[in-house]
Structure 1
């Protein structure tokens, strides 16, 4: 006699039990990866916040007018800060020129970012107020310079995690000549937001236009987060799209001209 195989026997057969366990296992794996991704994102966010909290902060130095000025006086503006010294033979001039180029690029935009270029000396022994003033004037009238006592400069450098160390001193030809030496220091530009908080940093490998584009996007994001987007946000976004389009068009034109020149040369 044939036995009747009802629906319950079919449903609970080992085959379907295996399929169900496979599906449940796959679902658990997916849920685990989703959970792990959220944990990783929270950890990255936590590390970023810790990093920001450990860089920068309140500072005060002597400006080019001989007055004490610092982070509290500059609140409400974006700051692009570079640490260097006026006797620097090559690296500092190149980096400061790049910093000024970034500001000039941003100032040419239809919707400008309110940003100040800042130079802070890590050589207080030689960099007097007058010397810093003359040095900054060589690059741009927009550039603000700061110096201070050895203790003041050391405190600011420590807050921004700036390494700086004087090299061997060599005496001049005359006894009255000052010592000549190089100051080894960290080469980084720091971006500080209008709240006075560390926001980003840029090393030697970043170009001026690239940095300017990043700062524009950071400023847009900051405006949106603080409810200051409005029409200015739309203007800035339109400006960014327009400039990006111009860059692409220019690169295309340069490529076409290059191809034409190559064709003529071959002919």
Structure 2
């Protein structure tokens, strides 16, 4: 019996120490308590062994949870702090949901012109220019007013892309005229003014279409018109006068007022370009 009591006292003290560390309770004088528990655990002279009962009750009470709430199993978080976290999260979700609904209502009540946004208006493509044509005459953007115009930016020393695009442009212009009887003016603007002189452009365009208009000019003039039409171009692989020019591969359709209508990329073939231009001309006539 004495051996069993000693094992219970030892196991009880270890349990008390472990729980004390877990709950963060300040350390106590366990040596003194051990002696007290030892004496309290012995059978009392009083009837019923009151001393043993008192010792067991003290051990149970001391190992209870700290003041302020019972700890959540698996971590030092109280139910009170967990409840506060949940309440805060619900409050934030409710707030943002209410703000979202309020903003949607504001947009619904806004006037039509405010809801239209930046999609209203025409693209900022095109503008005034002053260049030399392939005959050496000064030409401005106003000389093309009254006609539908397809403009392509390239250079005469281009090995493959520019000849392909100009061939496609020439075919489309003829097909458009056959389909709806409208003569679209094809225009080639050089982005290589250092080599594309008036004479060079004139000789180059003979290979494509008799009505194809070639334009060139000074470095500043070409830079200005390229900026107006949002055209990218840059010299590459430069070795003296032998170089290529990387540039946008786009055709710009301009209406009879020289306002931009639509652009057509390299992915359009001659038939696709023809159909696209015809569609835009027909829509313009119905306005």
After superposition, the Cα gap between the structure-2 partners of 1:213 and 1:40, relative to the gap in structure 1 and judged at 3 Å, is farther
Task: Return 5+ residue gaps in structure 1 as ranges.
Answer: 1-30, 172-178, 226-267
Q: Does 1:56 align with 2:118?
A: no
Aligned with 1:199 (options 258, 261, 273)? 261
- Separation in 2 of the partners of 1:35 and 1:146? 51
Select the residue among 168, 178, 188 that pairs with 1:108.
178
**Which residue pairs with 1:129 in the alignment?**
198
The whole-number CA distance in structure 2 between the counterparts of 1:70 and 1:112 is 26
Query: In structure 2, the residue corresponding to 1:100 is in which secondary structure?
Result: helix
Counterpart CA distance in 2 for 1:119 and 1:41 is: 40
Corresponding residue for residue 174 of structure 1: none
Q: Residue 116 of structure 2 aligns with which residue?
A: 42
Establish whether residue 74 from structure 1 lines up as the match of residue 74 from structure 2: no
User: Residue deviations 1:51-81, cap 9 Å, x none?
Assistant: x2x2111112100110111210110001100
- Compare relative contact order (CA 8 Å, sep 6+) and give the higher one, 1 or 2: 1
Alpha-carbon distance in structure 2 between the residues aligned to 1:41 and 1:214? 30
Structure of higher CA gyration radius: 2
**CA shift in 2, pair 1:40/1:201, >3 Å:** farther
Moved runs in structure 1, 4+ residues, more than 2 A? 31-36, 38-45
Match of residue 283 from structure 2: 221
Structure 1 residues 181 and 32, CA gap change in structure 2 (3 angstroms): same
| 3-state SS in 1 of match to 2:239 | coil
Name structure 2 gaps, 5 residues minimum: 1-104
Any conservation in 1 of the 2:107–2:115 contact (CA below 8 Å)?
Answer: no
Give the 3-state SS of the residue equivalent to 1:168 in structure 2: strand
User: In structure 1, what is the Cα distance between the partners aligned to 2:115 and 2:268?
Assistant: 26
SS at the partner of 2:186? strand
1:164 to 229, 233, 239: 233
Deviation at 1:169, TM superposition (A): 2.2
How many angstroms apart in 2 are the aligned matches of 1:74 and 1:42?
A: 33
- 1:151 aligns to what? 220
1:185 pairs with one of 223, 247, 257: 247
Deviates more, 1:203-212 or 1:78-87: 203-212
Change (3 A) 1:206 1:44: farther
Question: Aligned-residue CA RMSD in angstroms?
Answer: 2.2
Q: What is aligned with 2:85?
A: none
State yes or no: 1:142 paired with 2:214.
Answer: no
How does the TM-score come out when normalised to structure 1?
0.63
Work out the number of aligned pairs and report it.
Answer: 182
Distance in structure 2 (CA, Å) of the matches to 1:194 and 1:150: 28
1:77 partner SS: coil
